[in-house]
A and B are shown apart, each in its own frame.
Chain A
Amino acid sequence: MNPPSIVIHNLVKNYGETRALDGVDMEISPGEIFGLLGPNGSGKTTLLRIICSILDYTSGYVRVSGLDVSRDSLKVKRITGYVPETPVLYESLTPTEFLNFIGSVRRIDHETLARRIESFASAFEIMDKMNTFIGSLSFGTKQKVAIMAALIHDPEIIILDEGMNGLDPRSAKILKNLLNDYASRGRTIIFSTHVLEVAETVCTRMSIIYRGKIVDTGTLEDLRERSGTSKLEDIFLNVTGEGDLGPVIKSLRETMSS
């Protein structure tokens, strides 16, 4: 069996006095599509940004393909591709210019870059938008450009923070197939989402994170077995202690009708 490509041990991240990650342990192997599930503000984005060496951590141990993310920041960034939660791009550039910029910084050879841009653009059906300013594109199209930018260098590790956000069903399907293909080639994929159907159909293994702690990890079958329920939604609500929503909904209904 291949050694894990991502190893995290007792990871802590504080923002001032707020603890965003509290002793996270995780191991992800090559070929896995690993889902990170959790409610809003549970620490998913912080964890992903630490893995791709964008953010420092307070204490613990994080290795990506054997590299220390705090010491070997540049090397980690070379082998990772990151899609942020909301697509942050240079709005005054066109997708063509932006992807050429990314490709050039990542030192992809000219012909390969051109071929990849063309292939992605036609797969995501944005050929006609490639020379329009990013600032004028819809959210979904910006998301496609952000995905293309993250995958253009064929990274070893792919990190998607709510990667399906804003994608139309066709593009979402293409992305799922693409991720499966990358996984079959031994790439590691981490995928954060709170859309549970996406996690069910895409991820081979997943962790549920709640208030900065990993509360459960395993395949969908493992999680089902441990929680005694079959629906991922119920598993999620049970392990995060948010299972009984009745009183909340009742209170809301009363407020709105009064």
Chain B
Amino acid sequence: MNHDIFELSRRIVAEQRYLALKDSPKFQEKTGRSATQGARYIERLIFITYGVTAVSMIAFSSFLTYTQIKLPNPVDHLQTLSLLLYAYIFLISLYSFIMFTNIVRTYRLFEPLKPLPTRIGRQVLPLSWFVFTGSSSLFVIVPILWAYIYITGNILSAFTGVLWAFIMLGLGYTAGSAMIYILSGSVERKRGLWSGSISTILRVTGFIAFFILFEIAIQIPQEIPVLPSIRGHLAYLFVPLLNSAYIIFPAAQPSSYVYYGIGASFIYALLAIGLFIVVNSRTFSRVTQTETVSYNAADTSQKKLHESKSGFYLTIFRKDVRNIFRKSQNFLMMLIPVFLVLPTLLSIFFYSSDVSFGSISIYYSMLAIVIVSSAFYSIVLIISEGNGISVLQALPVRLRDIIYSKEYVGAVVFAAIVAPISVLFLIKTRGNPIIFFLFPVNLVIAYVYSSLYNLRRLMRKVPRGATTVNFYSFGGNTELVVLFAITALLISLPTLLSTAISYISLGITFSHSVAFYLSTLALNLLSLFIVMNIVNNSK
């Protein structure tokens, strides 16, 4: 590997971490002693972050694998689980690449390299992401492959399983790149006109629709109607993409499938590489493009010098909305929860007509969306400030004012996403009309109090006098996992308590019950009141 390219890749990651750390007292203490200590601290942190992610991936999938091998026909169950884990690699890859690129773009990390007499390799961006961040998610397949090989004695799966994991990682990167290329282009071209941009909405909708189809293909292949109509040997060339178990565990299929599986895996690997090369070069030019170029479309013809009068919170709300929806890197991050929860949503959608699924089961599943969105939007709404955090810090605003103003933006976006989804699911399950109202309201309240708490936690971590904030200012993925845990704890308490109350009072855990939603609403409101009290007393 070219040493310069590797060194540049390392430099980009170190710079990201430095920007996140530079205002923290702990880091200042290290650099105060010597610059070498500061540099070592950053190197160590990169290594630790990678290690923690890899270990948590192994722990997470070890747990899932263990539960499967205890069941009858463990090989079948492992194959089913593998669909989830490989889809997970894809999603993590997509998400982490967008987060990674966001910082590269926001801080123009390639800018100092531009005047240098060197070609900034297009390899730097993927290499930097892959070596120091992306590859850590590959560890999620280690336990399941190990278990499979241990049970069947089939070594071939170690090769095909790892190859497929790399393909999914590459596809996640390519999908992330495509999102950045397609969506950032549209947002930037429409600056100043975004509110009326039908084209932007169509692009985003189109991309999400395509993504949903892809997700169905890799996760719920039996739902693809074209599958049964593919006949003969041709089917086995298509089947691997739709059902990766054929590739990962070829030995579990009839012997003739093995060659199709291996052959197809190479074809898909080549396709993925081709796609990667095409998308990567375009995305790289978009990422390194100087922002000023994309601002040129601004409307300078207006003579307006003042805006309509608005209250304090509305002013900050308006600023945040503009900051998020006009900056494509921020806008992209607001979309990530939609992609992360798609697998859950798809499962609910396809299986919610099942008799055993009442609206309460769906409500429990929808709490996953609350957890992801609450944790994610809390971080995004703060890091979207970037260098602007110093503007906020210089203004006479209280911590709670910042928290509430950010909360409004997140709640509006969350409600816009969750309300139509809820209604769709409720129509599918023919729920009670009162539940149509209580169901989304409960979800939104759960989102509001959990994200208020998360925002408070994160804002208190921003050091006084901070000049910038980014994803790693709070600990990156580790903090995200902590926020997931906190949110899960906060929102599950009222729900579980409500289930317990209904069980104790009526002796059943009822589905489609208005009483369940009413008691959840009461407990959610109580939680909201408690969290608001904590936020109001924040210094």
Please give the residue numbers on chain A whose beta carbons come within 8 Å of chain B beta carbons, in ascending order: 14-18, 49, 52, 54-56, 74-75, 77-78, 82, 84, 88-94, 96-97, 100-102, 104-107, 110, 113-114, 117-118, 121, 127-133, 135-136
Provide a sorted-by-A list of 9 A–B residue pairs whose CB atoms are within 8 angstroms. Answer: A18-B31, A77-B394, A92-B327, A96-B304, A96-B305, A97-B307, A101-B319, A105-B315, A136-B296
Most buried by B among A101, A118, A127: A101
Instruction: Name the 7 nearest CB pairs between A and B, nearest first.
Output: A16-B32, A16-B29, A136-B295, A55-B465, A104-B315, A114-B306, A17-B32
Chain B neighbourhood of A129, CB < 8 A: 300
| B318 CB → nearest A CB, Å | 8
| Contact (Cβ within 8 A) A93 B464 | no
**In-complex Cβ contact of A54 among B291, B326, B390 (8 A):** B390
Are the CB atoms of B323 and A90 closer together than 8 Å?
yes
A136 B292 Cβ-Cβ under 8 A = yes
A105-B395 in contact (CB<8A): yes
Q: How far is the CB of A82 from chain B (nearest CB, A)?
A: 5
Q: How far is the CA of A15 from the CA of B395 in the complex (A)?
A: 23
Q: Max chain B CB contacts within 10 Å: which of A84, A92, A110, A130? A: A92
Which residues of chain B are near A121, meaning CB under 8 Å?
Answer: 305
| A135 adjacent to B295 (CB under 8 Å) | yes
B1 in the interface, Cβ–Cβ < 8 Å?
A: no
B38 to chain A, nearest CB (A): 9
CB neighbours of B30 from chain A (8 A)? 16
**Chain B residue with Cβ nearest A50:** B465
Taking a contact as CB atoms closer than 8 A, the residue among A49, A78, A100, A128 that contacts B300 in the complex is A128
Min Cβ gap A19→B in Å is 9
Q: Which residues does B use to contact A, with CB under 8 Å?
A: 25, 28-33, 191-192, 291-292, 295-296, 298-307, 309-310, 312, 315-316, 318-319, 322-323, 326-327, 387-388, 390-391, 393-398, 464-465, 467
Q: How many Å from the CB of A124 to the closest CB on chain B?
A: 13
Task: With A16-B30, A92-B322, A104-B315 as known contacts, state yes or no: A130 contacts B305, CB within 8 Å.
Answer: yes
Contact B292 A135 (CB under 8 A): yes
Q: Which residue of chain A has its CB nearest to the CB of B299?
A: A131
Nearest Cβ on chain A to B227's Cβ, whole angstroms: 45
Contacts of B323 in A (CB 8 A): 90, 92-93
CA gap between A130 and B301 in the complex, in Å: 10
A54, A96, A104, A133: the one contacting B310 at CB < 8 Å is A104
Min distance, Cβ B99 to any Cβ of chain A, angstroms: 19
Which residues from A are CB-within-8-Å of B387? 88
Nearest residue (CB) in A for B29 is: A16
Known contacts being A15-B28, A15-B32, A96-B305, is A91 close to B291, with CB within 8 Å? yes
Please tell me if the beta carbons of A100 and B306 are within 8 angstroms of each other in the complex.
yes
Q: How close is A191's CB to chain B, nearest CB, in angstroms?
A: 17
Which among B292, B303, B305, B388 has the highest number of chain A CB atoms within 10 Å?
Answer: B305
Tell me, in angstroms, the Cα distance from A78 to B396 when the chains sit together.
5
Q: Point out the residue from A84, A102, A110 that lies within 8 Å of B390, measured CB to CB.
A: A84
* In the complex, chain A residues whose CB is within 8 Å of the CB of B303: 127, 131
Contact A17 B33 (CB under 8 A): yes
| Residues of B with C-beta under 8 A to A54 | 390, 393-394, 464-465
Q: Which residue of chain B is the closest to A49 with respect to CB atoms?
A: B465
Quick check: A88 and B295 within 8 Å, CB to CB? no
Q: Are B391 and A90 in contact (CB under 8 A)?
A: yes
Q: Within the assembled complex, what's the spacing in Å between the Cα atoms of A129 and B300?
A: 7
- CB < 8 Å: which of B32, B192, B388, B396 contacts A18? B32
Known pairs A92-B191, A104-B310; list 5 more (Cβ under 8 Å).
A54-B464, A89-B388, A131-B300, A132-B300, A136-B295
Contacts A114-B306, A131-B304 hold; do A90 and B32 have CB atoms under 8 A apart? no
A16 touches B291 (CB 8 A): no
Assembly CA distance A71 to B467 (angstroms): 21
Contacts of A90 in B (CB 8 A): 319, 322-323, 388, 391
Determine the chain A residues whose CB is within 8 A of the CB of B307 once the complex forms: 96-97, 100
Bound: A252/B114 CA distance, A: 28
Q: CA–CA, A131 to B300, complex, Å?
A: 5
CB-based contact B291/A135 at 8 Å: yes
Are B397 and A105 in contact, CB atoms less than 8 angstroms apart? Answer: yes
Q: How far is the CB of A89 from chain B (nearest CB, A)?
A: 7
Once bound together, how far apart are the Cα atoms of A93 and B326, in whole Å?
8
Instruction: Kindly list chain A residues whose C-beta atoms are within 8 Å of the C-beta of B301.
Output: 131
Residue of A nearest to B465 (CB): A55
Contact A133 B394 (CB under 8 A): no
B465 near A118 (CB under 8 angstroms)? no
CB atoms of B305 and A105 under 8 A apart: no
Chain B residue nearest to A94 (CB atoms) is B298
**Residues in A whose Cβ lies below 8 Å from that of B391:** 88-90
CB-based contact B398/A74 at 8 Å = yes
Q: How far is the CB of B377 from chain A (nearest CB, A)?
A: 18
Complex Cα spacing A94 to B29, Å:
38
Chain B residues whose C-beta falls within 8 Å of the C-beta of A135 in the assembled complex: 291-292, 295
Min CB–CB distance B325 → chain A (angstroms): 9
Minimal Cβ-Cβ distance residue in B for A134: B295
Q: Which residues of A contact B31 (CB under 8 A)?
A: 15-16, 18
Residues on B with C-beta less than 8 A from A78 are 396
Closest A residue, CB atoms, query B327: A92
Considering the complex, give the chain B residue whose CB is closest to the CB of A96.
Answer: B305
Considering the complex, give the chain B residue whose CB is closest to the CB of A150: B394
**Bound Cα distance from A49 to B395, whole angstroms:** 12
Q: Which partner residue on chain A sits nearest B314 by CB separation?
A: A104
Are the CB atoms of A105 and B396 closer together than 8 Å? yes
Q: Which residues of B contact A130 (CB under 8 A)?
A: 305
Cβ contact within 8 Å between A133 and B397: no
Find the B residue at minimum CB distance from A130: B305
How far, in whole Å, are A129 and B301 apart by their CA atoms in the complex? 9
A131 to B301, CA, bound (A): 8
- State A131–B25 Cα separation when bound (angstroms): 39
- A91 CB contacts on chain B under 8 angstroms: 291, 295, 327
Taken together as a complex, chains A and B put the C-alpha atoms of A106 and B464 apart, in Å, by: 20
State in angstroms the CA–CA spacing of A14 and B397 once bound together: 26
Complex alpha-carbon distance, A14 and B32, angstroms? 9
Known: A15-B32, A77-B394, A110-B309. A56 touches B465 (CB 8 A): yes
Q: Which residue of A lies closest to B324 (CB)?
A: A92
Q: How far is the CA of A15 from the CA of B327 in the complex (A)?
A: 33
Alpha-carbon distance A92/B326, docked complex (angstroms): 6
**How far is it, in angstroms, between the C-alpha of A71 and the C-alpha of B500 when the chains are bound?**
47
Of all chain B residues, the one with the shortest Cβ separation from A136 is B295
Contacts of B315 in A (CB 8 A): 100-101, 104-105
**Contact between A104 and B390 (Cβ–Cβ < 8 Å)?**
no
Q: Closest CB-CB distance, B189 to chain A, in whole Å?
A: 13
Nearest-neighbour CB distance to chain A for B179, whole angstroms, equals: 19
A84 and B316 CA atoms in complex are apart in Å by 21
| Least Cβ–Cβ distance between A51 and chain B, in angstroms | 12
Contacts of B396 in A (CB 8 A): 74-75, 77-78, 105-106
Q: Which of A55, A105, A131 contacts B316 (CB 8 A)?
A: A105
Nearest residue (CB) in A for B393 is: A54
The docked-state distance in angstroms from the alpha carbon of A16 to that of B21 is 13
Q: Given A129-B300, A132-B300, are A56 and B394 also a contact pair (CB < 8 Å)?
A: no
A14: B residues at CB distance < 8 A = 32
Q: Contacts A101-B319, A130-B305 given; indicate if A16 touches B25 (C-beta within 8 A).
A: yes
